[in-house]
Amino acid sequence: MTKTGLVWFRNDLRIHDQISLIKAAKENSFVMGIYCFDPRHYEKDRFGFVKTEKFRAMFLIETINELQTELNDLNIPLFVHVGKPEAVIPQYVNIHKVTSIYLQKEWTSEEASVFENVKNTVSSEVNWVESFDQFLFHPEDISMTIDKIPQVFTVFRKKCEKYASIRPIETISKMPEKNRVTHLTKVPTLHDLGLNDFEKDTRTAFPFKGGEKAGLERLKSYSWDTKKLSYYKKTRNGLLGTDYSSKFSAWLANGSLSPRMIYHEIKKYESEIVKNQSTYWMIFELIWRDFFKYISFKHGNDIFKPEGILHQTYEWNRDAKLIQRWIDGETTEPFVNANMLELKHTGWMSNRGRQNVASYFARTLQLDWRIGAAYFESLLLDYDVHSNYGNWMYVSGVGNDPRNRTFNVKLQAERYDANNKFQNLWLQTSLF
């Protein structure tokens, strides 16, 4: 009997270290891929923001274009559609007599709901193969059950570093030539998704393209070519230019770069170039990323509730004028304004900027933090549901910050933008 495997791509848009793809290639004589630009992702959310705005949408379009080409070279067709997965996938299952569907395991509510919708519309005889493929530390390899994940990052990090190991990178073999089929599906344009075309702002700190090749090239460039990795800890709080931080987050967010790939590349760099605080700190940040994924896994929909995972009640404000001034960079704090204008015009903001504007929104203005999180979801190139909501809870006093801090924006500006270069870049130009 001929076995046909379908890989349903979501946030795992690569061919390196791609477990669903590897399993499908091993277990089937014919393999195809499918990606759906779900129209729900391009509609307005409950706060009035388009869930996926033009910046991340363009990055995703570039990523899918490249993935289609890369899979084609492996004799695996990638079918691309604008449509709901529950409407598209059953058609392929029926036409191609798919026996198994492979996909990355997701647990947040919207993704889980779509998965159940698809599952309910295909034959019960289809075999579903879900894999955890977004972690640095695989859930089977850590010394904790999900319900025992610590609330404090340092405890989580130390346990993972002591007891868990990182899995090696696996590669996929090329499928036989007979697996190659001609497909007529095309990757949509921004216009097809109901979004506006744009030109990249020349001031952006993130001038990079989407796609696996660009992500791997950035990894090579930041590590081996410029050796910026050796200085990451010293520069990571920067605001200007492409190299103050790795910028890996956008490729990590849609899965076109594997966290394990980054880890093993850092380990190679440490053995051949230098091992120091900066190389460790890059791994440290990957563990933070894991932590927020495990927190969302443990707490479920609590990460989307106003009281967060602490069940802490605040009187959140929803003043529309205050929110709009924050969005437009028209608050009383120039440092906040500069960061918000950078986000508005480029889809990017530094980590230091994000912490300040989020703290100002939730702690100083006491606005409903979920509105700020939704705006970030709409605009950020590197939006990741776990990190976004985890970080917003953290700075808003309803998450994992044991110190419950409020950022002093003026002091932060003096410390990280002492010469006003960053603020001048965004505030002066915006006057014209």
To the question of domain 4-133 being in CATH 3.40.50.720, the answer is no
**Token pair 């903001």: residue:** 349
Between these two residues, 398 and 180, which has the higher pLDDT value? Answer: 398
Q: Which two tokens stand for residue 367?
A: 């606005």
The pLDDT of residue 431:
44
Q: Do the Cβ atoms of 328 and 344 come closer than 8 Å? A: yes
Average pLDDT of every residue of the chain: 96
Give residue 178's pLDDT band: very low, low, confident or very high (50, 70, 90): confident
Neighbours of 67 (CB within 10 A): 27
Q: Which two tokens stand for residue 349?
A: 């903001």
**HSE value, Cβ hemisphere, 13 Å, CA-based, for 227:** 7
Does the pLDDT of residue 398 top 90, yes or no?
A: yes
Residue 1 has pLDDT above 80, yes or no: no
Q: What does the alpha-carbon distance between residue 2 and residue 6 come to, in Å, rounded to a whole number?
A: 13
Distances (CA, A) of 83 to 42, 86, 87, 268: 11, 8, 7, 42
For 134-167+212-299, the fitting CATH number among 3.40.50.2030, 1.10.3720.10, 3.40.50.300, 1.25.40.80 is 1.25.40.80
- Give residue 428's pLDDT: 84
The tokens for 264 are 């093993």
429 pLDDT band (50/70/90 cuts)? low
pLDDT tens-place string over residues 364-382: 999 999 999 999 999 999 9
Task: Say what the pLDDT of residue 217 is.
Answer: 98
Q: How confident is the model over 333-353, as a mean pLDDT? A: 98
Residue with tokens 């437009």: 328
| Burial (Cβ within 10 Å: 0-12, 13-18, ≥19) of residue 17 | buried
pLDDT digits (tens, 9 = 90+) for 289-327: 999 999 999 999 999 999 999 999 999 999 999 999 999
pLDDT at 253: 98
Task: Tell me what pLDDT residue 403 has.
Answer: 80
Report the share of the chain in percent with pLDDT over 70: 98
Condensed to tens digits (0 to 9), the pLDDT of residues 236-263 reads 999 999 999 999 999 999 999 999 999 9
Report domain 305-431's class: mainly alpha
Instruction: Determine the pLDDT at residue 401.
Output: 85
* Residue 292 token pair: 């927020």
C-alpha of 381 from chain center: 8
The DSSP output letter for 34 is: E
Mean pLDDT to the nearest integer, 31-47: 97
Question: What are the boundaries of each domain within the chain?
Answer: 4-133, 134-167+212-299, 305-431
Smallest CA-to-CA distance from 116 within 134, 106, 34 is with 106
Mean pLDDT of 254-275: 98
Pair 43, 51: CB distance under 8 Å? yes
- 56-99 pLDDT, tens digit per residue, is 999 999 999 999 999 999 999 999 999 999 999 999 999 999 99
Range of lowest pLDDT (5-9, 323-327, 380-384, 400-404): 400-404
pLDDT for the residue 180: 72
β pairing state of 100-104 and 127-131: parallel
